[in-house]
Each structure stands twice: as structure tokens, then as C-alpha cells.
Structure 1
């Protein structure tokens, strides 16, 4: 396990090997291993105690560290749920993790429950905290990103409305058209025609 993204180690001794024993501790949330190692997930940039009750990550995305300082040094953020540094992650940082995940994965089916699971928190707390920091709910933010990309596709490509709606993560074309009109005042087709006339 030596391929964690953006790791700035002076030497490779900071990062531990993944063993079957450690993997078993992670998937069984074994608290008896809590002081022995920490695990970090490359896709979310979050690190946890072995006992963390968060969703089990893919094994190939996990890095093992001997202590929290090493995980922090490697640019991982502490989990909100299990608090591996025994400190609370500031809300703004936590929301930044979620926002970054949405920005990269907006084409996927993103529910509040899935985001909360990925971000190691409860759906209710995520909804409330996200709205407090961003001024909009996670769902509104997801829609904003999807419509922003849809507008780019409408202007820059000749893709069909159905293809664009599927690509941006809204496979239901009638819903996509309704949402687009509600947020922009135009249907996707009208928006495309108006922008072409402006050129």
C-alpha cells in the first residue's frame, strides 16, 4: 500500500502494510485495534479509527498509518464520526469534503444517506450543516452542479437533451426538463437556441 494520492512522505516508513488482520479489524469495526493503527480512504481523503462504523471502503482505496499525525501529514482529514484525533473537524472543512465529492461524482446517484455515509455523519446533521455553510441544501447544490454542466453541454455540443440529462446524473428526461426550466426560466431546447442566437 504505497500509492496514496498526494502523499508527501520523506520516507516510506510512515505508511504501514495492509495485513489480513488489519483489514478484518476494519470490516468488523474492532475497537481493540484503535490504538494500534489508523486507516485512510483515498477517494474521500478521510481517515478513521478501526472501530469506525462508517461504510466499509474498497480495500484497494485504503492506506494504513501507525498514528493520526502521519495521516494528517499525508493530507487526510479526520473523520467526523469516529474523531481519530479526538478533536471535532470544523464544519467548514467537513462541508468542503462533501462539496468536493459532489463536484467529482455528480453523475452518480447521490442521496443524502449516501453522502452522509461517505462523509461519516448522519443525514440530518449533514443537511443542516451543509445548509448553514453553503446557504443551500446538498440536494440544491447537486442540482446546481448538474445544471451548470448541462448548460455547458447544451452550448458546446450537439448532444441530445436525453443524452445530456443522463450524463449529468438525471436519467429521467421529463424531470430534467422541468427542473431546468424551473431554475433557468427556459427549457433546455430554448436555452440552447437562445445561446446560439447570441453567438
Structure 2
């Protein structure tokens, strides 16, 4: 692997700009905390005097620095994979509850705005639309295998109003819950 040829000042500019294009090409190590980060890390920026740059992850770790928990520079794939997995697990386990974005954000310890931005960046969906899909998937099972009414299913899967249930159902399945039930019983 070829090393980049950037001066200290150029690397400093990249971390101030949180430039993702340089992730993996160099690492920012903070002498006072003994933590190292990706250039794109959104954590509070250290004082310039406390920063060292390393071009190799083995070198920064050999120097005694540990990876940042926020940007996870030691992870090759997206640093948010674990976060997204935690959010999805939470949604699957709590889909019946009346969840708002703040509940989900509190669970993972982020601001609602930041969570929504990261989740959408990683999944191409908001937590709310993902939750709706989980609820509709559960309703499909109930429509097919139970005799619960559409209204009972609506509340059983966590929708707060029948109109939201019917709208979400039609958006995802291109039919009403009753049409789905009729068609699924016939097969």
C-alpha cells in the first residue's frame, strides 16, 4: 500500500474538515487522551499541539494509542454497522410500543438528529420507515395466520391509528390488509 504524502498542516486541515475521503489513509492520535481517530471523526477536535499523525494503523497502536469508540478507526467497514444493528434490534424488540425518534436515540445514546442522519446514510431509510416495515411484516403474518380483525392487528403491531396502518400497508404492499388476507388465504 502506498503512503500519502501530506504535511502536518494538510492533515490537520483534513481533520478539521472531517474529510471522509482520507479515512484509512492516516490516523489522528491525541497525546493527552491516548486515543486515535479517523480524519472524518466528528468528536470534539483536540488542541493542535496535542496531535500526532500516523500513516499506518499498526504504528499508531504500537505507539500505545487505542481506537476511538465513536469513529472506530480499526474497523474496515462502516464505523456505524454496530450502531445500525443495535437500532434495528431495538426496533424489532420494541415495535409494539409507541416509539418516537427520541426513544430510539436515547437507547443508543445519540441525539435524534444525529441518529436519523447516520441511520439514513447507512440504510437509505429513516428509523421510522424501518419501524413501519417491521410492523407491516408482522401484520402480514397475523393477517395470514390468525383471525384477528384488521383493527386488532393494527394495534397489535404498534400502529397508533387505523389510518396510519392502512396508509403504511398500502404503500408497502399495494393493497389493503383485507385484500392481502383474502389473497393469502387462497394460496
Query: TM-score when scaled to structure 1?
Result: 0.55
Q: Deviations over 1:34-93 (max 9, x none)?
A: xxxxxxxxxxxxxxxxxxxxxxxxxxxxxxxxxxxxxxxxxxxxxxxxxxx853253111
* Residues 161, 188 of structure 1: 8 Å contact kept: yes
Matched, 1:111 2:100: yes
Q: Which has the larger radius of gyration?
A: 2
Structure 1 gaps of 5+ residues are 1-84
Cα deviation, residue 148, structure 1: 0.3
Matched with 2:88 is 99
How far, CA to CA, are the matches of 1:119 and 1:156 in structure 2? Answer: 34
Match of 2:175 in 1: 186
For 2:85 and 2:171, how far apart are their aligned partners in 1? 27
Cα separation, 1, equivalents of 2:139 and 2:151 = 11
Structure 1 segment 1-199 matched on structure 2, within 5 A: 87-88=69-70, 90-197=79-186, 199=187
- State the alpha-carbon separation in 1 of the partners of residues 180 and 68 from structure 2: 50
Q: TM-score, normalised by structure 2?
A: 0.58
Misfit runs of 4+, over 3 Å: none
- The count of aligned residue pairs is 114
